[in-house]
Amino acid sequence: MKTIILEIMYILAGLVAVAAAFNALKDKKHPHPKETAAFWGIFGLIFLFGKYVPGYVIGVLIIVIGILAALNRVSNGSMETAEESERAKSAEKLGNKIFIPALTIGVVAFLVAQYIKSLGSLVGLGFGAIIASIVAILMTRAKVKHIPYEGGRLLLSVGAAAILPQLLTALGALFNEAGVGEVISHAIGGIIPQGNILAGVIAYCLGMALFTMIMGNAFAAFAVITTGIGIPFVFSQGANPTIAGILALTAGYCGTLMTPMAANFNVVPAAILNTQNKNRVIISQMPLAFALLITHIILMYTLAF
């Protein structure tokens, strides 16, 4: 049951990507309409038919979209939503009611995840999105054609980076097959005493923060550090994976707060606010990030074991 519903959800998600592809093709001012359309079109097709195609064929398709992205041929273009004056007028008219569909997504997802455990949060997210769409259409009397248009517009503005979490997990799988984890744990086995839980926890949290600071991306750090430190020094010692896993990720976020490598979060905001010191945002965040990182170590040590 759950698998069938999920497969339908993937089809809907794939259709949003296909809509983005069509939007890019129709956008007369788009710098790379064909390449961008190919990227989202292939991505959409993987969602629609991925289950029925051999893995290595999908692998080739991923290389193709990877090359398109690497050549910077996947971009946003010039799709517009309604005029500002129209948006302001409609915001005035709808008032706070406009938040109802937006909150519906989250509320439905929570309710399904909590009370229909056999379906889980992903199906909940899908139901939430569908119900929210219906509520939004009834409320705004929007034309149905706006649905694919606006979905495609937003996906184009999110951009190619949207596929990164999936790629990083695939990278983790490749690392795993290649035995990268064993090599790292062997190499640092001399530094981190075997069988010492606290040492493992500290290494995992600090490793996440440091690696995130170097790379500017906690998601990428998570795949690497979990393979190298998390599995051999924390999970293998009997940590609750649910708790230790998410704490490791947010320990990485503490690193994000402290690094200029995370330009979108720390450098660009300083620039748009015209700060005198271009590291001002990081300076402001430093004390909190540091305190929170220590908190992570304490929480992981006490809650996960």
Residues 4-43 that bind another protein (CB under 8 A): 6, 9-10, 12-14, 16-17, 19
Sole binder of another protein in the list 2, 138, 194, 268 (CB under 8 A): 268
Sole binder of another protein in the list 5, 25, 45, 167 (CB under 8 A): 167
Which range, of 24-32, 191-199, 201-209, 225-233, touches another protein by CB under 8 A?
A: 225-233
195 or 238: whose CB is closer to another protein? 238
Which range, of 29-37, 190-198, 202-210, 265-273, touches another protein by CB under 8 A?
A: 265-273
192 or 248: whose CB is closer to another protein? 248
CA dihedral 4, 10, 11, 14 (to 10 degrees): -170
Site string for another protein, 283-302 (x = CB under 8 A): xxx-xx--xx--xx--x---
Which range, of 29-37, 103-111, 191-199, 202-210, touches another protein by CB under 8 A?
A: 103-111
198 or 291: whose CB is closer to another protein? 291
240 near 254, Cβ under 8 Å?
Answer: no
Which range, of 24-32, 188-196, 200-208, 234-242, touches another protein by CB under 8 A?
A: 234-242
Task: Return the residues of window 36-95 that contact another protein according to CB under 8 A.
Answer: 46-47, 50-51, 53-63, 65-67, 69-70, 72, 81-82, 87-92, 94-95
Sole binder of another protein in the list 204, 249, 297, 301 (CB under 8 A): 249
176 or 237: whose CB is closer to another protein? 176
Q: How far apart are CA 184 and CA 187, in angstroms?
A: 5
Q: Is 276 exposed, middle or buried (0-12, 13-18, 19+ CB in 10 A)?
A: exposed
Q: Does 208 engage in binding with another protein (CB under 8 A)?
A: no
Task: Return the residues of window 169-188 that contact another protein according to CB under 8 A.
Answer: 169-180, 183-184
Sole binder of another protein in the list 24, 37, 42, 163 (CB under 8 A): 163
Task: Return the residues of window 186-205 that contact another protein according to CB under 8 A.
Answer: none
Task: Return the residues of window 133-152 that contact another protein according to CB under 8 A.
Answer: 133, 136-137, 140, 142, 146-151
Q: How far apart are CA 90 and CA 237, in angstroms?
A: 57
